[in-house]
Structure 1
Amino acid sequence: MCWAVNYYNIYQSNDFNGVYFTVRGRALNTFISGVVQIPSAWMLNIFTDRLPFGRRKRAFYAIVYVFVTINAVWVAGYFMMKKTKEGLSEADRVDVHDSGYAAACAVYVLYGFTDATYNCYAYWFIGALSNRPDELSVYASMYRLLNALCQICAFALDLQGYSKEFMFGSSWAFVAAGPIFVLPIIKYWLKDTNMVENINVIEGNTLGIEEPSVETENKKAS
């Protein structure tokens, strides 16, 4: 999931939205795509935080939801990819008033929906792995590092002129493989709770409730 999360944006922005629609169409697509990411996060919240199960089961049901949603949207995206023609002039591209705009816009908006779903689950999952800030900082930094590396690779492939079919197929493969690789972590490492009873120790001394001394008691009595 760390690798895929920024890779597919290059295909969606450069090889679909950037070549299929006019400037006005691209602007409207981007706006609506951003808006639907709000209910996308809320819907994922139903699986990750609202279901009456332990955290491991919620993580499993949520990743199944993510996997099914992603593949359903990318199946629709496949048919739209087949219709995409590169090298069109601005006048030949699909505008907001054209008859085929609604379906193509819906696909791009659903890409945005799944983007928020994917990212929100990834961050929720990272947070579920530990309660230690030092450990979580390592997970989060690795997540963002791999995000950046995969985006560099995707931009390089796009710059080298790889076909839209290749960019689409590799994007779908990465984004679909991510949830599958999460399953072993859910099964073997994720716990229902990370809350443990800790005894704080500083320089070998246990921190607890300090019992009042005899001198203190005598002062209170006087």
Structure 2
Amino acid sequence: MDDNDTSAGDAAGPIMHAGEDDKRSTFHQIYTHCWFQIILISFICFCCPGMYNALAGLGGSGQVNQTVAANATVALLAATAGTALFVVGPIFDRVGPRVCLLLGGWTYPLYSGSLLCFNSTKNGAFVIAAGAILGVGASFLWVAQGAIMTTYVKESQKGRAIAVFWIIFNLGGGVGSLASFGLNYHSKSGTVSNGTYIALLIIMAIGWLLGVFICPPSSVRVSQLQATPQSEKNWRKTARQAVRTVTDWRVVCMLPLFFSANVFYSYQQNVVNGMTFNIRTRSLNGALYWIAQMLGGLIIGLILDMPGFTRPMRARIGWVFLFVTGMAIWGGGYAFQKWSDRRVAAGFKQDIDYTDSSISVGPTLLYIFYGAYDAFWQSFCYWLMGARSNSPAETAITVGAYKTFQATGGAMAWRINALKKPAMTQFAMDWGLCMGSLVIALPTVLAVTLTSDPNSEALKSRDVPDSKEDPRVEIKE
């Protein structure tokens, strides 16, 4: 155990026999290991937002009337935008990730329960109110998750940590969508069954309870993590740090990137999937979408941790990869939208079944590529945030900014969808925002340094690869 783990000895309590102490130490070393915590937060997100994604991916959260679900999502994102940056971000440094997860996790089963209620009562107001409450809860969960994922591991492993998280997290959306596919395989209606909502509610509740096992930053065994000393935790310093972080020019250049991170969800889920396929095929496509996210997270994670390249070079390679794949995928989306507009004009809607391969393969493949690109985008955003600092407190502020602007962009897009603007208009807006924000973020990408470790300040001006084999950069645990 390294010098960062100061809590173990203080909490030891009465003297124990050697055997008992050894057992406790082994358990404590596993429990406080950075990768155990990464996997744990991944499974929490598998259960909570992963299952929420399974619902959202059905188009209209599995309802024929997509307007209520769209307005609930607008309320969710508006609440997230209003709380993530200057409310939850500063609170994180005072109460820690465990409390944040417990404060936020229960709102996920509440939302699933509201959809279950809507199936029987058509109480749309309850769904929208539950969406707003979920928006606040999601702020707590995602700020804690982002800080853990980007600071609890060493700098040379941040890409892999993001990849592991993205795989496990999106497995939730994949499994949830496959379960929905099975439950609704013979369904002739346009909505999912009550059993779907009940099953997802139970899984979400389990994820909320798993938050009890998250460690505070001071207990995690990783050498480069910069935990805030207890003596420096006060609201004035936290507020100053929040202002200083969000006004940093590197963060300012990333804000359009953050804004565009979820802007395409409403179009992809409610138009591409929701208006094109029948209910069981939408469930299957939802599974494929989140499975593609798992593969996409793995690909971009490996690119951002490539050995033999400096961290600045990996940042540039990641940017080029995102730009080229974005132009290719959105270009294919343009061809689809022209075809879809002709079908809608002819009266075809929510009619394509996966068994009709002559017409379903192309749109399904496009939806899969959209899922992979979402993973590329968000993983790159998280990696850039992790490249700025190894401090959970500072990163929580940046993640708060990310969630605020991500939610703002998403709320705008869902509102445009709820207003039933033309699908081509929504598509053009999404494509333009994504490519434009990548260009604006380029100065931040070019400013990525060799290390964020304050103990290795001199390395920032030296061309030394950030690899495990080079002891000048990698600080051993």
TM-score (norm 2): 0.40
Partners of 1:19 and 1:88 within 8 A in 2: no
1:168 to 404, 427, 449: 427
Alignment of 1:89-104 (within 5 A): 89-90=349-350, 93-98=351-356, 99-104=358-363
Whole-Å separation in 2 of the counterparts to 1:14 and 1:51: 40
- Deviation, 1:88, is 3.1
Whole-Å separation in 1 of the counterparts to 2:373 and 2:321: 11
Whole-Å separation in 1 of the counterparts to 2:435 and 2:349: 33
Residue in structure 2 matched with residue 60 of structure 1 by the alignment: 316
Q: Residue type matched to 1:46 in 2?
A: L
Residue in structure 1 matched with residue 181 of structure 2 by the alignment: none
Residue in structure 2 matched with residue 38 of structure 1 by the alignment: 294
Whole-Å separation in 1 of the counterparts to 2:455 and 2:284: 52
- Deviation, 1:51, is 4.0
Which runs of 5 or more structure 2 residues have no equivalent in the other structure? 1-256, 457-477
Q: Residue type matched to 1:28 in 2?
A: L
**Highest Rg: 1 or 2?**
1
Residue in structure 2 matched with residue 193 of structure 1 by the alignment: 451
Residue in structure 1 matched with residue 442 of structure 2 by the alignment: 183
Structure 1 position 88 matched with structure 2 position 344: no
Q: 1:54 to 1:18 in 2, by over 3 A?
A: same
- Deviation, 1:183, is 1.1
Partners of 2:386 and 2:395 within 8 A in 1: yes
Secondary structure of 1:16's counterpart equals helix
Secondary structure of 1:7's counterpart equals coil
Q: Residue type matched to 2:381 in 1?
A: A
| Bigger relative CO (Cα 8 Å, ≥ 6 apart) | 1
CA RMSD in angstroms, aligned pairs only: 1.5
Q: Residue type matched to 1:7 in 2?
A: V
Whole-Å separation in 1 of the counterparts to 2:349 and 2:319: 41
- Figure out how many residues of one structure are paired with residues of the other and give that number: 195
Partners of 1:44 and 1:62 within 8 A in 2: yes
Secondary structure of 1:94's counterpart equals coil
Percent sequence identity is: 26
- Deviation, 1:89, is 4.7
Alignment of 1:2-151 (within 5 A): 2-84=258-340, 85-86=343-344, 88-90=348-350, 93-98=351-356, 99-151=358-410
Q: 1:128 to 1:161 in 2, by over 3 A?
A: same
- Displaced runs of 4 or more, over 6 A: none
Secondary structure of 1:150's counterpart equals helix
Deviations 1:98-154 (A, max 9, x none): 111111100001000101111111111110111222221111000001111111111
Secondary structure of 1:100's counterpart equals helix
Whole-Å separation in 1 of the counterparts to 2:260 and 2:320: 17
